Amino acid sequence: MIVVPKSFLGFQRPFSSLILDSGKLLVADYLARELVLLDLQSEEKVSITQNGRNGSVLGPHCVTYSNDHHWIFVTDYLGKKILKFTADLKFHSVFLDHETIKPHWLLTGPATLRIDANNHHYVCDYGSNSIQIFSEQGSFLGFMGKNSEGIPAGGKLPGEFDRVHDVLFLPDGGLIVVDTWNSRLQKFSNDRSQIDHIETGFELPVAIDGGNDLFVISDVGNSTVTLFNSKTFEKIQSWSDFLKPYDVRMNLNSLWVCDSDNRRIQMIHM
């Protein structure tokens, strides 16, 4: 059952959101080139990075906590880097930068950053069609998305990606990859050596989040958000009151949707 959705308006093109420990919402507004802090009670919005202060960001794409919630990471898609902020939103450093790391194809279009239980940082790199894995200190550990020659290249074969956009770590150690332009999800085994399942039937899936044997997918191709069983991949429920929902996050019994082309954040009670 759905209670009437709550909408937060006034964004330009929200691409990602994060519920902070303070109870406020941090939003990456891609078109505005800003990180925006939203008070969910008063609905007051404050820019964290306006006019280049507190860390310049060209194309904020994803915001996420470190596992201990001491840090907040921001992927800068246009700047080709990952920024690191303190938990109280003070700019700390550039965690990863395309200009200073090798090989040359790293961070050519970082879309999202997700961190597993071992503090390995998985960067879904839209530009190179690969998932790049880094240590907590920023050392390059390896990547997923190799072709037959062992280099990243877009492809349709199992284990290859075409504009990979997001990942979800499952409680059993498995990994679901949002393989956007191939219109599918790929589920990898715990050691990432084999593919356990491929789910099709999407148009342009972009974001995934989950918990308690559930996961949710936002699809900008058909402007839907859909809830699945993570063990069976059975579809449970779908919502469609969006225009290009670019991100979706699960928080307790709510979904937070970046309804990008409607320039709003929607909160839906499940």
Residue pLDDT, tens place only, 32-44: 999 999 999 999 9
Who wins on pLDDT, 64 or 270? 64
Within a domain: 69: yes
The mean pLDDT value for 124-145 works out to 94
Judge whether 245 lies within some domain: yes
Q: How far is CA 55 from the centre of its chain?
A: 20
pLDDT of residue 180: 97
- Non-local CB neighbours of 249 within 8 Å, separated by 6+ positions: 17, 18, 19, 209, 255, 256
**What pLDDT score was predicted for residue 51?**
56
How far is 189 from 93, CA to CA, in rounded Å? 34
147-190 pLDDT tens trace: 656 667 788 989 999 999 999 999 989 999 999 999 999 999 99
Nearest residue to 123 (alpha-carbon basis) of 139, 247, 224: 139
Q: Does residue 178 lie within any of the structural domains? A: yes
208 Cβ neighbours under 8 A, 6+ residues apart: 166, 167, 168, 176, 178, 185, 215, 216, 217, 218, 248
Total residues found in the chain within this entry: 270
Question: In percent, how much of the chain has pLDDT > 90?
Answer: 81
Strand order in the sheet with 25-29: 14-19, 25-29, 34-38, 45-47
Does the structure show a pLDDT above 60 at 66? yes
Report the number of distinct structural domains present in the chain: 1
Within a domain: residue 35? yes
**Taking all residues of the chain, what is their mean pLDDT, rounded to a whole number?**
92
* 53 located within any domain: yes
Is residue 46 one of the residues assigned to a domain? yes
Residue 227 in any domain: the answer is yes
Asked whether residue 1 is assigned to any structural domain, the reply reads no
Which is nearest to 16 in space by CA: 61, 51, 55, 81? 61
Tokens of 35: 């990180």
Supply the CATH number for residue 43's domain: 2.120.10.30
Segments forming the whole domain that contains residue 41: 6-269
